[in-house]
Amino acid sequence: MDRGTNNKFGLSNISGTVKDTGLVSAAQAGDLEAFEQLVRRHQTKVFNLALRMTGRYEDAGDVTQEVFISAFRHLGTFRGKSKFATWLTSIAVNLSRNRLAQINRRAAQEKVSLDDPLQTEDGAVPREVVSNEPSAQERLELKNAQQAVQDCINRLPTKFREVLVLRDLQELAYDEISDLLKLQEGTVKSRLFRARVAVKLCLKRVIGEL
């Protein structure tokens, strides 16, 4: 068994990787190299979360930058009660929400689209959303299933979207999502169910049979 070797952060290097806690401590002490390692380690996960939340590659890049800049600025407040990855995820969700709100405001100013998701109360949204059937043009543009899935995610209101992304794409546990979004676990389950049903109906309409 690889027992690891000591590194400059004073922690054992298990299987060739340094634990986040060591890098975080070093970064908190002003070691930018350690922070860069954290960036390299988590940027893909953060970027994909932002991408699935915003649905746009450029916005995902911007949000990812904002997430790490914010994390660096508030590094001193991180006490290690949760995992660094979870802390980063919560920042990413908040900043993705903000970016999504900007995108929606911009879209609302440019034109009122029939494809925009409706901001309704829990329970009413998924059925109404799926009732907005993609246009023929959109069908042609959806080259593959991947794009179809992303398009269906994009049609979800933010509060359903974030639960779906965190559970089915980021693979967080229910209790983690509950803590992160500060929701009751029952609410998480309910929102997740409705989001999944909405995506199912969307996919069935876009690509036919599942």
Partner 1 sequence: MNHDDMQEKLSAYMDDAVSTQERSAMEDHLAGCAECRKALEELRKTVAQLKNLEQVEPPTWLTQKIMAQVRSKAESRKSIWQKLFFPLHVKLPLEAVTALFCVVIGYYVYQSVEPTMKLAEAPVQNQRSMVVRQESAPAAPPPAQPASLPAKEQQSLTAEVREDVKDEMKVKAPAAKAEGKQRARGPAVGYREKEPVPAPPAHTAETTAPRKAMGLAEGERDVKARSRPGTKAAAGLADTLAMTDAVVSRVTVVVTNIEKASAEIRDKIGHSGGTVLKTDRVTNGFAIEATIPQARMEAFIDYLNKLGTIRDKNLPRVRADTPVSVRITITFEP
Where do contacts with partner 1 occur on this chain (CB under 8 A)? 30, 32, 35-36, 39-40, 43-44, 47-48, 51-52, 57, 60-61, 64-65, 68-69, 72-73, 145-146, 149-150, 153, 164, 167-169, 174, 189-190, 192-193, 196-197, 199-200, 203-204, 210
Q: Are strands 12-13 and 5-6 parallel, antiparallel or unpaired?
A: antiparallel
Q: Whole-number minimum distance, CB 20 to partner 1, in Å? A: 17
Of 4 and 72, the one with the shorter C-beta distance to partner 1 is 72
Q: Whole-number minimum distance, CB 81 to partner 1, in Å? A: 23
Q: How far apart are CA 199 and CA 205, in angstroms?
A: 10
Of 19 and 56, the one with the shorter C-beta distance to partner 1 is 56
Task: Give me the helices (H) in the chain, please.
Answer: 20-28, 32-54, 57-73, 84-110, 125-131, 136-141, 145-154, 158-164, 174-181, 185-207
The position carrying tokens 């590094």 is 75
In 3D space, the residue among 48, 4, 19 whose CA is nearest the CA of residue 169 turns out to be: 48
Of 155 and 167, the one with the shorter C-beta distance to partner 1 is 167
Q: Whole-number minimum distance, CB 14 to partner 1, in Å? A: 23
> How many residues belong to the chain?
210
Please give the structure tokens belonging to residue 147.
Answer: 């794009």
Of 66 and 100, the one with the shorter C-beta distance to partner 1 is 66
